[in-house]
């Protein structure tokens, strides 16, 4: 954030970073973070972790439907393979 504030200060032909420059930089960082969250949601970028998270959310929602409880979901159901093949990978 300080680098962005520095750019604003230099554009204002200032030798010091002022409060206005820090506030402007903070808004740029906020806007960027909000944009990333809006575009990508809470995806991690890790296929395994994203698959597990999506399946857990689906299972949680199905437990709250009018039809009643959802079924238990095993790890094999989530990733479609044996657990030991995935254990060595980072989730």
**The pLDDT value given to residue 66:** 45
DSSP string, 13-81: T-SS--HHHHHHHHHHHHHHHHHHHHHHTT--S-HHHHHHHHHHHHHHHHHTBTTBPPPP--HHHHHSS
Model confidence at 82: pLDDT above 80: no
Domain of residue 63 covers 47-87
Q: Under a CB-based contact definition with an 8 Å cutoff, are residues 87 and 52 in contact?
A: no
Model confidence at 16: pLDDT above 60: yes
Same domain, 9 and 27: yes
Model confidence at 21: pLDDT above 80: yes
What is the tally of structural domains in the chain? 2
Same domain, 28 and 56: no
Same domain, 56 and 29: no
The mean pLDDT of 11-30, rounded to a whole number, is 97
Model confidence at 88: pLDDT above 70: no
Same domain, 34 and 51: no
Same domain, 28 and 7: yes
What are the tens digits of pLDDT across the range 29-73? Answer: 999 999 988 888 878 888 888 888 888 887 766 655 445 455 566
Same domain, 51 and 83: yes
CA distances from 36 to 5, 32, 51, 72 (A): 21, 6, 20, 33
Same domain, 36 and 14: yes
What are the tens digits of pLDDT across the range 68-78? Answer: 455 566 666 66
Q: Under a CB-based contact definition with an 8 Å cutoff, are residues 83 and 75 in contact?
A: yes
């Amino acid at each position: 954030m300080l680098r962005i504030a520095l750019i604003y200060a230099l554009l204002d032909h200032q030798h010091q970073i002022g409060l206005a420059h820090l506030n402007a930089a903070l808004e740029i960082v906020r806007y960027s973070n909000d944009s990333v969250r809006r575009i990508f949601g809470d995806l991690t970028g890790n296929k395994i972790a994203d698959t597990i998270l999506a399946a857990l959310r689906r299972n949680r929602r199905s437990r709250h439907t009018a039809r009643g409880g959802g079924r238990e979901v095993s790890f094999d159901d989530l990733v479609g393979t044996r657990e030991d093949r995935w254990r060595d990978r980072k989730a």
